[in-house]
Amino acid sequence: MKKVYLETFGCQMNVSDSERIASVLASDGFEMTQNENIADVVLFNTCSVREKAEHKLYTRIGQIRKFAGRNPVVGVLGCVAQLEGETLFKKSDGIDFVLGTQAVGRISEAIGNVFEGQKGYVDLEKREENYDWSVTENQRHSPYVAFVPIIEGCNKFCTYCIVPFSRGREKSLPAADIIRHVIKLRQQGIKEVHLIGQNVNSYRPTNDSTLEKSRGATAFSKLLRAVAQTGMERIKFTTSFPRDFHPDIVEAINENENLCNWVHLPVQSGSNEVLRAMRRGHNIESYFKKIDTIKNSPRRLSLTTDIIVGFPGETYKNFQDTLKMIEYCRFDSSYIFKYSPRPGTPAFDIVDNVSPSEKKERFMELDGLQKLIQQEIFKSYINRTIKVLVEKASVKDDTQFSGHSTCQKVVNFKGSSELLGKIVDIKITEAKVNTLFGSVI
Ligand code: 5AD
Ligand code: SF4
């Protein structure tokens, strides 16, 4: 049996794609391995959202070619594959084949062709009509948590972002398939699903007769109510796009206990001038309105975001607006990135007048303030009891367990393996900047 090692970079969509790639390979007679040194085939599912992620690919290919001892077939999949296509063979001579973001269902065919001696194999074509979105149980990243893609691609074309080019136009999956998928996962014992997509709340299926029975101001809030009806214990969704974030989403959460206490709403900047240059489709006033709706929920919804510092043209004054913005929003956590120019995006052609050292300083300043806010929020959990899905034992100490709260915080506690997969009450006793600690009650 040929052994395949698969390494994944980037976002949840890539993790989800990799789960399906592994499922296809396993059912086609390959054996998945965690050990790159014994693999006959090494696959990289790549990310192109920032330069660093792309560089990592070339470093890893170099390492495989140098240290593997054997000469495995190397395949590049995902976003870098889609964008670069056959130019990848020129960029690195360690690559045997290239498979784009929508071609991943044809992975076995690609490997088969390379084994038969085909050189320069590239498939960047569309997803097959009857593509199978399911994942076999032992290829899931967690036995208790499952990703359910509901929309792929992106139509937003924010000026800094490569995703619309690497993942193509938005395409919503049929609601009936999504509901069926969630029901099946529930039967398999999955406790938590994450409805995923680049912009889940832009969900717009072509035929939504399944959603007709469901109440809601938008197709997405109808879908949320319909998924809640499946009885799945916990439902999370990410990522939401601010412009399309309808207050009815918060209503749906308020009405359904199993829709979790968490919204991820990337703001990117606190400055209207920068938001305009990024072509985000929202301004800071409209964003604050959405934040107010989320904060006014009778449940305490945790709020997370993405922010880019040092976008071309961002002045220090613009940046100060971002500092003010995070003081207003008080995010439970935020992913802060230094702007990274991506060839092919509109922002790539703007002269970048923010130096690397200014980018770094802004990153540090914003990160420092975020940490202060976050520490206060995390400390406010001390002595409170929250529900945590017990997901895994610590690698170093098998009496220590961890999982996520409904508000998507990582919680560590002492426990035993019978708790795995259960939702338990944990009383919080200590708070670090990114993690809570507590004990089972
Ligand atoms: N540079 C830096 N960060 C970026 N992101 C997307 N494109 C870029 C870029 N060119 C960030 C955004 C997005 C997150 C997934 O990655 O904040 O929300
Ligand atoms: Fe990129 Fe903007 Fe689409 Fe998000 S919404 S994937 S940032 S283009």
- For ligand 2, the distance from its centroid to the CA atom of residue 187, given in whole angstroms, is 34
pLDDT value of position 69: 63
Task: For a ligand 1 pocket test, name from 13, 160, 339, 348 the mutation site with the most ligand atoms within 8 angstroms of its C-beta.
Answer: 160
CA–CA separation, 415 and 257 (whole Å): 26
Task: For a ligand 1 pocket test, name from 47, 269, 325, 337 the mutation site with the most ligand atoms within 8 angstroms of its C-beta.
Answer: 337
- Ligand index nearest the alpha carbon of residue 307: 1
pLDDT value of position 223: 98
Task: For a ligand 1 pocket test, name from 9, 14, 161 the mutation site with the most ligand atoms within 8 angstroms of its C-beta.
Answer: 161
Q: In what order do the strands lie in the sheet with 234-238?
A: 145-149, 192-196, 234-238
Pair of tokens at residue 396: 């170093």
Ligand 1 atom nearest the C-alpha of 162 is: 7
Q: Which residues does the chain have with pLDDT short of 50?
A: none
**Sequence letter at residue 136:** T
Q: Which residue has its alpha carbon closest to ligand 1 atom 7?
A: 161
- For ligand 1, the distance from its centroid to the CA atom of residue 27, given in whole angstroms, is 35
CA–CA separation, 247 and 301 (whole Å): 13
CA–CA separation, 284 and 273 (whole Å): 10
- For ligand 2, the distance from its centroid to the CA atom of residue 156, given in whole angstroms, is 6
Alpha-carbon torsion 17, 162, 304, 294, what sign? negative
Looking up tokens 């870098």 gives 80
Q: Which residue has its alpha carbon closest to ligand 2 atom 1?
A: 161
**Sequence letter at residue 73:** V
- Long-range pairs, 414-417, Cβ under 8 A, ≥24: 414/439, 414/440, 415/390, 415/440, 417/393
Q: Which residue has its alpha carbon closest to ligand 1 atom 13?
A: 306
**What is the separation, in whole angstroms, between the first and last Cα of the chain?**
47
- For ligand 2, the distance from its centroid to the CA atom of residue 118, given in whole angstroms, is 36
Looking up tokens 């301004």 gives 283
How many other C-beta atoms are found inside a 10 Å radius of the C-beta of residue 384? 12
- The full 3-state SS of the chain, as one line of letters, equals CCEEEEEECCCHHHHHHHHHHHHHHHHCCCEEECCHHHCCEEEEEECCCCHHHHHHHHHHHHHHHHHCCCCCEEEEEEHHHHHHCCHHHHHCCCCCEEECCCCHHHHHHHHHHHHCCCCCEEECCCCCCCCCCCCCHHHCCCCCEEEEECEECCCCCCCCCCHHHHHCCCEECCHHHHHHHHHHHHHCCCCEEEEECCCHHHCCCCCCHHHHHCCCCCHHHHHHHHHHHCCCCEEEEECCCHHHCCHHHHHHHHHCCCECCEEECCCECCCHHHHHHCCCCCCHHHHHHHHHHHHCCCCCCEEEEEEEECCCCCCHHHHHHHHHHHHHHCCCEEEEEECCCCCCCHHHHCCCCCCHHHHHHHHHHHHHHHHHHHHHHHHCCCCCEEEEEEEEECCCCCCEEEEEECCCCEEEEECCHHHCCCEEEEEEEEECCCEEEEEEC
130 close to 318: Cβ distance less than 8 angstroms: no
Across the chain, which distance is largest between two alpha carbons, in Å?
Answer: 63
pLDDT value of position 68: 55
pLDDT value of position 286: 98
pTM higher than the cut 0.75: yes
pLDDT value of position 54: 87
Cα angle 85-172-337, degrees, rounded to a multiple of 5: 60
Q: Which residue has its alpha carbon closest to ligand 2 atom 2?
A: 158
Ligand 2 atom nearest the C-alpha of 154 is: 3
- Ligand index nearest the alpha carbon of residue 197: 2
Measured from CB, residues less than 6 Å from any atom of ligand 2 are 154, 156-158, 161, 163-164, 198-199, 241
CA–CA separation, 179 and 229 (whole Å): 9
CA–CA separation, 419 and 113 (whole Å): 46
- Ligand index nearest the alpha carbon of residue 168: 2
- For ligand 2, the distance from its centroid to the CA atom of residue 429, given in whole angstroms, is 38
Q: Which residues contact 270 (CB under 8 A, 6 or more apart)?
A: 284, 321, 322, 323, 324, 325, 326
- Ligand index nearest the alpha carbon of residue 339: 1
34 close to 67: Cβ distance less than 8 angstroms: no
Measured from CB, residues less than 6 Å from any atom of ligand 1 are 49-50, 160-161, 266, 268, 306, 308, 337, 339-340, 342
- For ligand 1, the distance from its centroid to the CA atom of residue 132, given in whole angstroms, is 29
Residue 430 C-alpha from the chain's centroid: 28
